[in-house]
Structure 1
Amino acid sequence: MTGQTPEQRRAIAAMGRVLGPDTLAAVHRLYRADQDESAGAPRCAGADLAYGEHDRQRLDVYMSEAIQRDVSADARPVLLWVHGGGFVRGEKASPDHPFNAHVGHWAARIGLIGVVMNYRLLPEAAWPSGGDDVAAAVDWIVRHIADWGGDPTRIVVGGTSAGATHVATYLQNGTLLASLRGAILLSGLYGGVPVEPRDTAYLGVDVRIAPSGIAACGLPMFLACAEFDPVRFQDDTMALASAVRAQRGDWPPMAVVGGHNHFSLACHLGGADNSLADLLRPFLHETCLDPTGDIP
């Protein structure tokens, strides 16, 4: 594994902080070949498994070939991944956008069971539907993941952008289970800065998510944003980190990941660029530590 190449860094810097379909497509082009090469053989052991009644309430399960072959292997920790998409789009896996599936591949490669979920979208579903869907997916994992080689007592839930907001909503509103070990929040909106008009359709004008409410869950968190994120995502990440420090006395592990923007922060995970993976592994190690002291 290697870090970000100089060419990738220059290309990301040239894109600036602008969001939109053109930037997203440029990031996809930049990392697609790298991701396809790094993902290796497909590791999707179960596709489109229903965790609810809605057509969007589906998830995929990823595990290594070794775990698939050895049904007697020790149960593995679980990483649940929640994609972004501005509350209106996004897929757990598709030919045009494989990057969320690559998070499942990456989880499997480092010895975890990867679970990548879809959730309900606008205009049908507004806040707090995404958090409710995360709660339902966690409940499915607790009830069923042992059938897929997973340990229902060691679950970390993570998400990017809108997905991070959904995870944060779950942390604020959900009934946390003893099996949940930690949360990974990348460039989400947490109610710490004014909401832009584009986001009121989902979050509402009277925003009810708040950094203090998220921090109150008491769960270990890893927080990150990108060097070229729009400033509001950086400020909201710091607002949540400050709320965690105010309530717990210490800063949570966090990072501003250099050389990346809002989209590439998650899109490069699982590829040859290990900028984020190197930061996440110590957090996963600490929260999901095996009795043997390692992952895997």
Structure 2
Amino acid sequence: MTDTIAELGTRLGPDVVGAVRALYAPEQEPRAAALAPVASDCAYGPHLRNRLDLYREGEGGRLRPVLLFVHGGGFLAGDKGGDGNGNWANAHLGRWAAANGMLGAVMNYRLAPGEAWPAGAEDVAAAVTWLQEHAAEHGGDPERIVLLGTSAGSVHIAGFLKLRSDHAGMVRAAVLLSGLYGFTPLDERDMLYYGPQDAYAGRMPREAVVETALPLLLACAEFDPPRFQAEWAGLLQARLDRHGCLPRAHYASGHNHYSMAMHLGTADRRLSDEILTFISAHS
């Protein structure tokens, strides 16, 4: 698999997504068939995309930590999956959380260009609020919520940190995979969410993700595009300058922008173990 991912290089696009999905389907599809959601399309807000699914293994017992996964898609696409038609990607993070003793929540959110900044960050906040109110009904501890995002999902989590000054009282920690936080120039795709260049500086979550005292795990991949690697390195340096120490970090060797999240739950446990150790320390 590593050789195949290396051959794909640092490119983004539907063809690369499809190639990576095909690599992990033999491991992920049986897990998808084995564990259905315990609750589907829970409405955490009024928009049709304000829906989340919940995954849990076992019944009863003590309330378990809650992991909320926020998918990627470049602000314009993406789905929580889990519809039973081979659409295992993204839903697999809920199943991975469940297999590791958590209540897994996988959310959709509003998409650009129809919904612009700060829609994604607002939706993360609304989903967290819903989990605070309803997680216990499904075996989750509303006092132990951890966020996990990839790509645009990481951006929306960082935006949540910016919008909600009380975020440290709402969640325990956040895992951010390959996000864009404001350390590199705006591109045309970003403008579909953030608006024109003159609005960019005030809307990016750079300051919030640097300043927050919330525990963070920051990761990027060996074959992430250079912009994403620059963002990761820039954020690490900014956190070091601000706090005098680095946050927990992971460099996913042998992975690309898509495989870093898509492989979680497979035999490659390097990132999985890092995230689980981090969550255990903070939940």
Q: TM-score range by the shorter chain?
A: over 0.9
* Other structure's SS at 2:220 match: strand
CA RMSD across the alignment: 1.4
The 8 Å contact of residues 68 and 107 in structure 2, kept in 1 or not, is answered as yes
Stretches of structure 1 lacking an aligned partner (at least 5 in a row):
1-7, 289-296
Give the 3-state SS of the residue equivalent to 2:90 in structure 1: helix
- Aligned partner of 2:51 among 45, 48, 58: 58
- Alpha carbons of structure 1 residues 47 and 38: separation in structure 2 relative to 1, 3 Å: closer
Query: C-alpha displacement at 1:96, in angstroms?
Result: 4.9
Aligned 8 A contact 1:244 1:250 in 2: yes
Q: Which residue of 2 aligns with 1:157?
A: 147
Take 1:232 and 1:259, find their aligned partners in 2: how far apart are those partners? 18
Question: 2: CA distance between counterparts of 1:127 and 1:276?
Answer: 30
Moved more, 192-201 or 158-167: 192-201
Contact 1:35 1:272 survives alignment (8 Å): no
1:134 aligns with 2:129: no
User: For residue 13 of structure 1, what is the amino acid of its counterpart?
Assistant: A
Structure 2 match to 1:260: 255
- In structure 2, distance between residues paired with 1:39 and 1:186: 23
Which range moves more in the overlay, 191-200 or 216-225?
Answer: 191-200
Report the equivalent of 1:191: 182
Query: 1:113 offset after TM fit, Å?
Result: 0.6
TM-score normalised by L of structure 2: 0.94
Q: In structure 2, what is the equivalent of residue 220 of structure 1? A: 215
Q: Secondary structure at the match of 1:163?
A: helix
| Number of matched pairs | 276
Contact 1:183 1:222 in 2 (8 A): yes
SS of match in other structure, 1:200:
helix
Tell me the equivalent position of 2:2. Answer: 9
CA deviations on 1:70-109 (whole Å, 9 max, x unpaired) are 2xx1110100000001111111014353121111011001
Give the 3 Å change call, closer, same or farther, for CA 89–96 of structure 1 in structure 2.
Answer: farther
Q: Report the residue type matching 1:198 in the other structure.
A: R
Query: Quick one: which of 17, 24, 35 aligns to 2:28?
Result: 35
Q: Identify the match of residue 147 of structure 1 among 116, 125, 137.
A: 137
Equivalents in 1 of 2:90, 2:106: separation in Å?
7
Change in CA separation of 1:146 and 1:177 when aligned onto 2, cut-off 3 Å: farther
TM-score, structure 1 as length reference: 0.90
1:233 maps onto 2:223 in alignment:
no
Q: Matched residues, percent identical?
A: 46
* Structure 1 match to 2:87: 97
Q: Is the 8 A contact 1:164 1:187 kept in 2?
A: yes
Aligned with residue 270 of structure 2, among 272, 275, 288: 275
